[in-house]
Chains A and B, each alone.
Chain A
Amino acid sequence: KAGVTQTPRYLIKTRGQQVTLSCSPISGHRSVSWYQQTPGQGLQFLFEYFSETQRNKGNFPGRFSGRQFSNSRSEMNVSTLELGDSALYLCASSPTADHTQYFGPGTRLTVL
Chain B
Amino acid sequence: EDQVTQSPEALRLQEGESSSLNCSYTVSGLRGLFWYRQDPGKGPEFLFTLYSAGEEKEKERLKATLTKKESFLHITAPKPEDSATYLCAGADSNYQLIWGAGTKLIIKP
Interface on A for B, CB 8 Å cutoff? 4, 42-43, 45, 48, 56, 88, 90, 92, 98-106, 108
Contacts and interface: CB of A to CB of B under 8 A. Distances in A.
A45 B96 contact: yes
A59 to B, nearest CB: 12
Interface string B89-109: 101001111011110000000
7 contacts: A56-B96, A98-B49, A101-B34, A102-B46, A103-B44, A106-B42, A106-B43
Contacts of A4: 43
A56 B34 CA distance: 19
Given A98-B49, A99-B31, A100-B34, A105 B42 contact: yes
A99 B95 contact: yes
Contacts of A88: 41
Nearest to B49: A100
Contact of B97 (A45, A106, A108): A45
A104 B44 CA distance: 8
Contacts of A92: 43
B17 interface: no
A35 to B, nearest CB: 8
Contacts of A45: 96-97, 99
Which 6 A-B residue pairs are closest in the complex by CB-CB distance?
Answer: A103-B43, A99-B95, A43-B99, A42-B101, A103-B44, A106-B43
Main secondary structure of the interface of A (DSSP, over half): strand
B43 A104 contact: yes
A42 B89 CA distance: 12
B36, B44, B94, B102, most chain A CB atoms within 10 A: B44
Contact of A99 (B42, B44, B45, B91): B91
A42 B46 contact: no
Interface string B65-108: 00000000000000000000001010100111101111000000
Contacts of B44: 43, 90, 103
A13 to B, nearest CB: 19
B55 to A, nearest CB: 14
Given A99-B31, A106-B43, 14 more contacts: A42-B102, A45-B96, A45-B97, A45-B99, A56-B94, A90-B43, A90-B44, A98-B49, A99-B95, A103-B43, A103-B46, A105-B42, A105-B43, A108-B41
